[in-house]
C-alpha cells in the first residue's frame, strides 16, 4: 500500500531518528491527554460528590499538569513536523533538480518545462504537507484508541458495549467519505497541474500572445482551466463540509446514549457519576483520532499521486548513458576528426501516456537516413539545406544530445558512445540555434563553460565572436547585467555572446548551429574570419540556411530531407549541383557564368 509514499518519507536522509523521536513525543503527549479523564472521574466522585477537598484539589492540579505536559510534548512534535516537512521538500527538490540536470535532450522532450515546473512546485508541496501531517498525527490514532479502550475497560466496563455500536458506525461513515474524497482529491490535483501548465505556458509566451493580440483567447483558455480546477476543488470540500458535522452528530448521539444508559445504571448503583463523565470524555478521545485520520487520508492519497509523478522524473533513465567501458581520449592530443558511418536517426516518439509511465519508443520516421561523411581535423565544414532537412539534428548527434538510432559517429577513431560524456563536452563546443543567456553578468555568461578563464581568454573569445565591441561600449563592460534569458540584448548580440561562450572553452570541435543568422553578412564574415584565426586547429561545423555563411567552408554538405545529396566546396557545388544553384539563385541572384 502507498509504495511511493513510503519511498518519499525516506528521502530526507537521516530521517529515522527525528521520525521516531517525533512519534515518541506525540505518544507521550497523547498519554497525558488520556490521563485527564481519570482525574475528572476522581474530581467528581471523590471531590464533588464525596466531599473530599484534598481529592478535589489534587485532581485539579493533576489535570492542569497533564494539560501543560500534553501541550509541551505536542509543541515539540509540531516542531519536528515542520523540520521533517521542510527537509523532505528540500531533499526532494534537490534530487529532482540534479536529475533534470542529468537529462538528455530526449528526456527533456519527454517532460516539458511546464510539466517539470508543476512537479517541482505543487507536487513537492503536496508531499511536504502530507509528511507534516503524518508526523503530527501518525502515532496519535493507535495511542489514543488503544489507551482509551484500556482505560474504559478498567474504569467503566459496564458502558463498554456502547463503544461496540458507535465505533463500527463511525468506521463505515469514515470509509464512505474517505473513498469519495480520495478520488476527488486526485482529480483536484490533476486539474491543478493543468491550471499551472496553462499558466506557465502563457507566461513564457506572453510576448507572442501580445504580438498576436490573443489576450482574449488566452483569457478564455485560462478561465476554462480555472473553472475546471474550481469545480474539482468544490467536490472534496463539499464532502468535507458534511464529514465533521456528521461525525459530531454521531458523537453527540453517543454521549446522549451514554448519559441515558449511564443514568439508568447510576440509579441501580452500577456506575458512578465520575465514570459516566470520564466515559463521555473517552468517547471523544477515541473518535478524535479517527476524524483526524479521515482528514489526512485524502491528503496522503494526493501526496501518493504527487510522489508517483515525482518518481517518474527521478527514475527516468538518461537516454544517453555514460559508457560502462569508456575509452580514453586525451583532450590535449585530440585532433577533432569526425566520421559518420551509416548514421540513421529518428526522434523518440512519446506516447500519449508518456509523461505518466515514462514509456517511449522510436518512430519509424527517419529524420536522418544513412549518413556517411568524413570531416578532417581542423577543417571548416558547413551543412546547408532547407528548413527541416535535418541539419540541427545531425550536429546534435556529435555531442550526444541524442544517440544515433543506427550506425555510429566516431571522433578520432573512437565511437562517441565510448567517450565519457564530460570529455565529450569538453571536446565539443556548441552555440545552439536558440541563443539563451542566463541572468547575471555578461562576463559570467561568456565564461559559463570555463569559469576559471582568464580575462585575456574571455576578451579573446568575445573579440573573435565580434562581441567585444558592443560589450566595451556598455559603461559596465563585462560586469553589465544580463536580464533573464538575455532580453536586454538584441538577437544578434545574444548570438555573438553565445558564440563567445562556445569559444571560451577552446573546443577541438566547434559547432555553430545557425548561430550567425541574425548577423548582417559583413559581421558574419568578420566573425568567421576571426574564428578561423583564433581556432586554426579547431574543426568547425557551421549549420546554415544562407549561402553567405558557407561560402568560405572547406567542404559543404548539402542536406535534403534527411539525406546528404551533395558535398564539395562552394565553387564545385555551384558548378555541378542544381539544388545548390537553386539556393544560390534564390538568395544571391543568378549564378555567375
Ligand X SMILES: Nc1ncnc2c1ncn2[C@@H]1O[C@H](COP(=O)(O)OP(=O)(O)OP(=O)(O)O)[C@@H](O)[C@H]1O
**Is residue 440 involved in binding ligand X (CB under 6 A)?**
no
Our CB check for ligand X shows the closer of 405 and 545 to be 545
Residues 44 to 83: which contact ligand X by CB under 6 A?
none
377 grid coordinates = 581535423
Candidates 173, 183, 187; CA nearest to 294 is: 173
Among the listed ranges 46-54, 55-63, 64-72, 384-392, the one in contact with ligand X (CB under 6 A) is 384-392
Is the CB of residue 138 less than 8 Å from the CB of residue 19?
A: no
Candidates 538, 469, 526; CA nearest to 502 is: 538
Our CB check for ligand X shows the closer of 384 and 461 to be 384
Our CB check for ligand X shows the closer of 41 and 389 to be 389
Residues 471 to 500: which contact ligand X by CB under 6 A?
none
Closest distance to ligand X from the beta carbon of 559 (Å): 7
Our CB check for ligand X shows the closer of 201 and 218 to be 201
Coil vs helix vs strand at 257:
helix
Among the listed ranges 83-91, 385-393, 434-442, 485-493, the one in contact with ligand X (CB under 6 A) is 385-393
Among 62, 222, 347, 470, binds ligand X (CB under 6 A): 347
**Is residue 376 involved in binding ligand X (CB under 6 A)?**
no
**Is residue 109 involved in binding ligand X (CB under 6 A)?**
yes
Our CB check for ligand X shows the closer of 402 and 478 to be 402
Among the listed ranges 135-143, 380-388, 407-415, 448-456, the one in contact with ligand X (CB under 6 A) is 380-388
Residue 285, exposed/middle/buried by CB under 10 A (0-12, 13-18, 19+)?
A: buried
Closest distance to ligand X from the beta carbon of 501 (Å): 20
Give the separation between CA 418 and CA 476, rounded to whole angstroms: 44
Give the separation between CA 464 and CA 551, rounded to whole angstroms: 19
Do the strands 406-411 and 414-415 form a parallel or antiparallel pair, or are they unpaired? antiparallel
Our CB check for ligand X shows the closer of 263 and 388 to be 388
Is the CB of residue 336 less than 8 Å from the CB of residue 377?
A: yes
The residue count for binding ligand X (CB under 6 A) is 14
**Is residue 392 involved in binding ligand X (CB under 6 A)?**
yes
Among 168, 263, 318, 388, binds ligand X (CB under 6 A): 388
| Helix or strand (DSSP H, E) at 410 | strand 406-411
Is the CB of residue 580 less than 8 Å from the CB of residue 386?
A: no
Our CB check for ligand X shows the closer of 362 and 484 to be 362
Our CB check for ligand X shows the closer of 482 and 553 to be 553
Give the separation between CA 416 and CA 481, rounded to whole angstroms: 37
Closest distance to ligand X from the beta carbon of 304 (Å): 32
Closest distance to ligand X from the beta carbon of 391 (Å): 4
Among 182, 274, 390, 429, binds ligand X (CB under 6 A): 390
Closest distance to ligand X from the beta carbon of 344 (Å): 13
**Is residue 545 involved in binding ligand X (CB under 6 A)?**
yes
The sheet carrying 368-375 orders its strands as 368-375, 338-345, 406-411, 414-415
Candidates 89, 550, 567, 44; CA nearest to 310 is: 89
Residues contacting residue 16 through CB under 8 Å, at least 6 positions apart: none
Give the separation between CA 97 and CA 442, rounded to whole angstroms: 25
Among the listed ranges 80-88, 312-320, 387-395, 582-590, the one in contact with ligand X (CB under 6 A) is 387-395
Closest distance to ligand X from the beta carbon of 418 (Å): 25
Residues 153 to 192: which contact ligand X by CB under 6 A?
none
Among 367, 505, 541, 583, binds ligand X (CB under 6 A): 367
Closest distance to ligand X from the beta carbon of 365 (Å): 8
Residues 504 to 543: which contact ligand X by CB under 6 A?
514
Closest distance to ligand X from the beta carbon of 513 (Å): 7
**Is residue 391 involved in binding ligand X (CB under 6 A)?**
yes
Our CB check for ligand X shows the closer of 109 and 228 to be 109
Is the CB of residue 569 less than 8 Å from the CB of residue 578?
A: no
Our CB check for ligand X shows the closer of 66 and 383 to be 383
Our CB check for ligand X shows the closer of 113 and 472 to be 113
What's the residue count for the chain?
A: 593
Residue by residue, DSSP assigns 122-160 as IIHHHHHHHHHHHHHHTTHHHHHHHHHHHHHHHH-GGGH
**Is residue 346 involved in binding ligand X (CB under 6 A)?**
no
Is the CB of residue 511 less than 8 Å from the CB of residue 522?
A: no
Our CB check for ligand X shows the closer of 74 and 549 to be 549
Alpha helices in 353-454 (DSSP H): 354-357, 391-396, 421-427, 442-446
Among 37, 336, 337, 385, binds ligand X (CB under 6 A): 385
Please state, in angstroms and as integers, the Cα–Cα distance from residue 82 to each residue in 91, 291, 297, 343, following that order: 14, 22, 19, 54
Among 306, 380, 389, 498, binds ligand X (CB under 6 A): 389
Our CB check for ligand X shows the closer of 323 and 545 to be 545
| Matching residue, cell 553578412 | 521
Burial 175-201 (b: 16+ CB within 10 A, else e): eebbebbbebbbbbbebbbbbbbbbbb
Residues contacting residue 258 through CB under 8 Å, at least 6 positions apart: 159, 162, 276, 279, 280, 283
**Is residue 560 involved in binding ligand X (CB under 6 A)?**
no
Closest distance to ligand X from the beta carbon of 400 (Å): 15
Give the separation between CA 142 and CA 76, rounded to whole angstroms: 19
Our CB check for ligand X shows the closer of 201 and 514 to be 514
Our CB check for ligand X shows the closer of 278 and 366 to be 366
Give the separation between CA 158 and CA 268, rounded to whole angstroms: 12
Closest distance to ligand X from the beta carbon of 108 (Å): 9
Closest distance to ligand X from the beta carbon of 396 (Å): 7
Coil vs helix vs strand at 560:
strand
Among 267, 387, 533, 590, binds ligand X (CB under 6 A): 387
Is the CB of residue 411 less than 8 Å from the CB of residue 509?
A: yes
Among the listed ranges 240-248, 318-326, 382-390, 497-505, the one in contact with ligand X (CB under 6 A) is 382-390
Among the listed ranges 137-145, 335-343, 381-389, 526-534, the one in contact with ligand X (CB under 6 A) is 381-389
Coil vs helix vs strand at 55:
helix
Interacting residues toward ligand X by CB under 6 A: 109, 347, 367, 385, 387-393, 433, 514, 545
Amino acid at each position: 500500500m502507498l509504495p511511493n509514499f513510503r519511498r518519499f518519507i525516506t528521502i530526507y536522509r537521516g530521517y529515522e531518528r527525528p521520525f521516531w523521536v517525533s512519534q515518541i513525543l506525540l505518544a507521550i503527549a497523547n498519554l497525558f491527554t488520556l490521563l485527564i479523564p481519570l482525574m475528572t472521574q476522581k474530581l467528581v466522585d471523590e471531590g464533588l460528590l464525596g466531599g473530599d477537598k484534598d481529592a478535589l484539589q489534587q485532581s485539579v492540579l493533576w489535570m492542569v499538569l497533564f494539560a501543560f505536559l500534553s501541550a509541551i510534548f505536542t509543541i515539540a512534535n509540531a516542531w519536528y513536523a515542520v523540520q521533517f516537512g521542510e527537509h523532505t521538500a528540500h531533499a526532494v527538490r534537490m534530487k529532482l533538480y540534479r536529475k533534470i540536470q542529468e537529462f538528455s535532450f530526449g528526456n527533456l522532450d519527454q517532460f516539458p518545462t511546464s510539466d517539470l515546473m508543476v512537479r517541482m512546485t505543487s507536487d513537492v508541496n503536496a508531499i511536504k504537507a502530507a509528511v507534516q501531517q503524518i508526523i503530527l498525527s501518525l502515532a496519535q490514532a493507535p495511542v489514543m484508541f488503544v489507551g482509551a479502550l484500556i482505560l474504559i475497560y478498567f474504569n467503566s466496563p459496564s458502558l463498554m458495549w456502547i463503544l461496540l455500536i458507535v465505533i463500527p458506525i463511525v468506521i463505515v461513515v469514515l470509509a464512505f467519505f474517505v473513498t469519495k474524497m480520495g478520488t476527488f482529491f486526485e482529480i483536484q490535483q490533476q486539474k491543478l497541474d493543468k491550471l499551472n501548465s496553462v499558466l506557465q505556458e502563457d507566461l513564457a509566451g506572453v510576448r507572442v500572445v501580445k504580438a498576436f493580440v490573443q489576450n482574449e483567447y488566452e483569457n478564455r483558455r485560462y478561465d476554462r482551466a480555472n473553472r475546471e480546477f474550481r469545480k474539482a476543488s468544490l467536490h472534496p470540500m463539499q464532502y468535507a463540509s458534511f464529514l465533521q458535522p456528521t461525525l459530531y452528530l454521531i458523537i453527540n448521539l453517543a454521549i446522549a446514549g451514554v448519559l441515558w444508559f449511564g443514568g439508568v445504571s447510576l440509579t441501580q448503583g452500577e456506575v458512578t457519576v465520575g465514570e459516566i463523565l470520564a466515559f463521555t470524555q473517552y468517547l471523544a478521545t477515541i473518535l478524535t483520532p479517527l476524524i483526524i485520520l479521515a482528514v489526512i487520508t485524502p491528503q496522503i492519497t494526493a501526496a501518493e499521486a504527487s510522489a508517483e509523478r515525482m518518481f517518474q522524473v527521478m527514475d527516468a533513465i538518461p537516454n544517453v548513458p555514460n559508457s560502462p567501458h569508456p575509452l580514453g581520449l586525451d583532450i590535449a592530443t585530440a585532433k577533432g576528426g569526425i566520421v559518420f558511418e551509416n548514421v540513421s536517426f529518428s526522434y523518440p516518439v512519446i506516447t500519449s501516456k508518456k509523461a505518466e509511465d515514462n514509456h517511449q519508443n522510436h518512430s519509424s520516421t527517419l529524420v536522418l537516413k544513412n549518413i556517411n561523411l568524413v570531416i578532417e581535423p581542423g577543417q571548416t565544414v558547413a551543412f546547408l539545406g532547407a528548413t527541416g532537412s535535418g541539419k540541427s539534428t545531425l550536429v546534435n548527434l556529435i555531442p550526444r544530445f541524442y544517440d544515433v538510432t543506427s550506425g555510429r559517429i566516431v571522433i578520432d577513431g573512437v565511437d562517441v558512445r565510448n567517450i565519457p560524456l564530460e570529455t565529450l563536452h569538453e571536446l565539443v563546443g556548441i552555440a545552439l540555434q536558440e541563443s539563451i543567456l542566463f541572468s547575471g553578468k555578461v562576463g559570467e555568461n561568456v565564461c559559463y563553460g570555463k569559469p576559471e578563464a582568464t580575462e585575456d581568454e574571455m576578451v579573446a573569445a568575445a573579440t573573435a565572436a565580434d562581441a567585444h565591441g558592443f560589450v566595451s561600449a556598455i559603461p559596465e563592460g563585462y560586469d553589465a547585467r544580463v536580464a533573464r534569458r538575455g532580453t536586454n540584448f538584441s538577437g544578434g548580440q545574444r548570438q555573438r555572446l553565445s558564440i563567445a561562450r562556445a569559444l571560451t572553452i577552446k573546443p577541438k570541435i566547434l559547432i555553430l548551429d545557425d548561430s550567425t543568422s541574425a548577423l548582417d553578412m559583413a559581421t558574419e564574415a568578420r566573425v568567421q574570419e576571426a574564428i578561423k584565426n583564433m581556432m586554426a586547429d579547431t574543426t568547425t561545423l557551421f549549420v546554415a540556411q544562407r549561402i553567405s555563411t558557407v561560402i568560405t567552408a572547406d567542404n559543404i554538405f548539402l542536406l535534403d530531407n534527411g539525406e546528404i545529396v551533395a558535398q564539395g566546396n562552394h565553387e564545385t557545388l555551384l558548378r555541378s549541383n542544381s539544388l545548390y544553384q537553386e539556393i544560390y539563385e534564390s538568395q544571391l541572384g543568378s549564378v555567375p557564368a
